């Protein structure tokens, strides 16, 4: 049994999520496998020490009493705050220097700029012409046209939104996809995220990729990382890029 | 205040009882720490809190009865912990014969080791990244992986599970690398034999 599997089994046992035969199997393992028994004890101690246990609730009360009756701590408070403030300023100066000199340091914005490229619309038109996919709706084409041939992203987004508002039925996935792309191009990652999330069909690889990029653009590195990790674990055309971004995110942490 | 009242107060997390214990007994602990090993008030406060944790761990057992004076027990536990701290700092303390720690009941020795182990976990937990602390705290509160994924904006339940496992691994790695860990584990194994 691998460490991760053992960990899951112990959690399920302690959380009471196992059926009786599994409970008996765990109990047998505890009797016969010293490593398993040791891992179980460690998990129990961890829960008692860090979880919402009685002892932690008790310690909170004790700490409060001690702190209230500690005149020296109160006297020390001001110099400590001053020291912390000075340390913070110094740390800021050092961090700025480090940031300026660090060659590999990559911000979310930089990574986004490197990896975000608007999709080639020509493929969609080509496919549509060849009858391989449903034709892209005319207003969407107008928006794309405006974007690609005139480079006016703002106008393209306005047109697309206006079109969406007047639709009597739910907009298509193509609509949401281009709404997301245009929102990203206009620096609106939260709107983009909403749009990409609304895609119902098609775009199996593009949807998670652009959702991850929207998180990255918004500076939510943790969410971006988890989505890129999901992409990296699949057979996606974006797999290689997702892995490279994960590495860069790790370097920047 | 009599022993049973003090123990009941601790079991009930009663502020008045804890204030009484602090006011009545803390000065002797502070005095001991300052005059033996050049300790300071903050160290004495930490010892006091740790010693109360030890007594609480024992008092959680409803059958527990305290036969010695509360002050002696509290003082002995503090002394024991202070000598351990100085030992770890590689400082020897010139102890007069009358200051040698008395032999504590075996049960209390066990409670001291348990409390020290908990303290080690807490200390190392504080050294984890904020992300790891959040994942582990939510898991320890009993949230499902699905809820954790939702709350922290993770892409999937599977990712939340993986992250929790990695964070726990990191925590245990920090715990095991600490010099106190082998000592605490050896005590535990000896107890079982």
For chain A, how many structural domains are there in total? Answer: 3
Contact between B142 and A69 using a beta-carbon 8 Å cutoff? no
The pair of structure tokens assigned to A109 is 């914005």
Selected residue with higher pLDDT from A96 and A56 = A56
Domain spans in chain B, listed from the N-terminal domain onward: 3-105, 127-192
Please check whether residues A215 and A239 belong to one and the same domain: yes
Please check whether residues A171 and A120 belong to one and the same domain: yes
Evaluate if residue B184 carries a pLDDT over 80: no
Please check whether residues A121 and A184 belong to one and the same domain: yes
Please check whether residues A128 and A23 belong to one and the same domain: no
Selected residue with higher pLDDT from B106 and B55 = B55
pLDDT of B186:
66
Evaluate if residue A92 carries a pLDDT over 50: yes
pLDDT of B49:
94
Instruction: Give the contacts of A67 (CB within 8 A, at least 6 positions apart).
Output: A73
Contact between A223 and B155 using a beta-carbon 8 Å cutoff? yes
* Residue whose structure tokens are 């503090």: B78
Evaluate if residue A180 carries a pLDDT over 50: yes
Please check whether residues A75 and A167 belong to one and the same domain: no
pLDDT of A133:
47
Whole-angstrom distance, CA of residue B67 vs CA of residue B57: 16
Please check whether residues A95 and A124 belong to one and the same domain: no
- Provide the Cα torsion B12, B80, B122, B192; round to 10°: -90
- Structural domain boundaries, residue A157: 112-252
The alpha carbons of chain A give a radius of gyration, in whole angstroms, of 27
Selected residue with higher pLDDT from A152 and B118 = B118
CATH code assigned at A150: 1.25.40.10
For the segment B149-160, the average pLDDT, to the nearest whole number, is 88
Selected residue with higher pLDDT from A161 and A73 = A161
Please check whether residues A182 and A210 belong to one and the same domain: yes
pLDDT of A119:
66
- Sorting pLDDT into bands at 50, 70 and 90, what band is A158? confident
Question: Least CA distance to A67: which residue of chain B?
Answer: B45
Please check whether residues A40 and A133 belong to one and the same domain: no
pLDDT-wise least confident of A56-65, A210-219, B28-37, B182-191: B182-191
Q: What percent of chain B lies above the pLDDT cut of 70?
A: 86
Evaluate if residue A211 carries a pLDDT over 60: yes
Residue A14 resides in a domain:
yes
pLDDT of B93:
57
Q: Would you tell me which residues 122-141 of chain B have a C-beta closer than 8 angstroms to some C-beta of chain A?
A: 122, 125, 129, 131, 136-137, 140-141
Please check whether residues A54 and A94 belong to one and the same domain: no
Please check whether residues A87 and A212 belong to one and the same domain: no
pLDDT of A141:
66
Q: How many CB atoms sit inside 10 A of residue A74's CB?
A: 11
Please check whether residues A125 and A201 belong to one and the same domain: yes
The pair of structure tokens assigned to B42 is 């903050």
Residue A107 resides in a domain:
no
Q: Is A2 on the interface with B (CB under 8 A)?
A: no
Question: Least CA distance to B171: which residue of chain A?
Answer: A46
Residue pLDDT, tens place only, A101-152 = 654 456 888 888 888 877 655 444 444 445 544 445 666 666 666 665 566 7
Please check whether residues A176 and A126 belong to one and the same domain: yes
Evaluate if residue A226 carries a pLDDT over 80: yes
Contact between A50 and B125 using a beta-carbon 8 Å cutoff? yes
Whole-angstrom distance, CA of residue B122 vs CA of residue A155: 55
């Amino acid at each position: 049994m691998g460490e991760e599997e053992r960990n899951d089994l112990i959690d399920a046992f302690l959380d009471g999520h196992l059926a009786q035969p599994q409970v008996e199997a765990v109990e047998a393992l505890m009797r016969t496998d010293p490593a398993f028994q040791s891992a179980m004890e460690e998990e129990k101690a961890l829960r008692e020490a860090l979880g919402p246990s009685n002892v932690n609730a008790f310690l909170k009360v004790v700490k409060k009493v001690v702190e209230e009756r500690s005149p020296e701590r109160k006297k020390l408070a001001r110099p400590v705050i001053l020291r912390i403030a000075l340390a913070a300023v110094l740390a800021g100066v050092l961090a700025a220097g480090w940031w300026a000199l660090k060659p590999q340091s990559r911000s979310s914005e930089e990574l986004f700029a490197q990896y975000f490229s608007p999709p080639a619309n020509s493929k969609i038109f080509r496919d549509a012409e060849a009858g391989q996919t449903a034709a892209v709706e005319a207003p969407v084409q107008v928006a794309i046209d405006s974007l690609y041939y005139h480079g006016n992203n703002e106008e393209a987004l306005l047109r697309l939104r206006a079109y969406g508002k007047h639709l009597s039925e739910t907009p298509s996935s193509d609509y949401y996809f281009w709404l997301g792309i245009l929102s990203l191009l206009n620096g609106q990652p939260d709107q983009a995220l909403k749009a990409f999330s609304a895609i119902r069909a098609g775009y199996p690889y593009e949807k998670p990729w652009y959702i991850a990029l929207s998180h990255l653009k918004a500076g939510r590195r943790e969410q971006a990382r988890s989505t890129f990790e999901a992409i990296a674990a699949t057979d996606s055309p974006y797999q290689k890029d997702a892995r490279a971004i994960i590495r860069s995110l790790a370097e920047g942490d | 205040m009599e022993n049973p009242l003090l123990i009941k107060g601790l079991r009930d997390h009663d502020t008045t009882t804890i204030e009484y214990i602090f006011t009545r007994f803390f000065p002797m602990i502070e005095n001991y720490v300052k005059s033996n090993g050049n300790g300071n008030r903050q160290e004495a406060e930490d010892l006091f809190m740790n010693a109360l944790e030890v007594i609480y761990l024992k008092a959680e057992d409803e059958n527990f009865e305290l036969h010695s004076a509360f002050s002696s027990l509290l003082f002995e536990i503090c002394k024991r912990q202070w000598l351990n701290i100085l030992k770890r700092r590689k400082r020897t303390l010139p102890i007069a014969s009358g200051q040698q720690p008395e032999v504590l009941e075996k049960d209390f020795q066990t409670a001291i080791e348990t409390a020290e182990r908990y303290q080690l976990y807490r200390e190392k937990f504080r050294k984890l990244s904020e992300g790891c602390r959040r994942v582990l705290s939510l898991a320890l509160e009993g949230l499902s992986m699905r809820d954790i994924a939702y709350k922290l904006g993770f892409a999937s339940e599977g990712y939340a599970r993986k992250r929790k496992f990695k964070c726990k691994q990191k925590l245990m790695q920090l715990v095991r690398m600490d010099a106190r860990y082998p000592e605490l584990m050896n005590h535990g194994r000896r107890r079982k034999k």
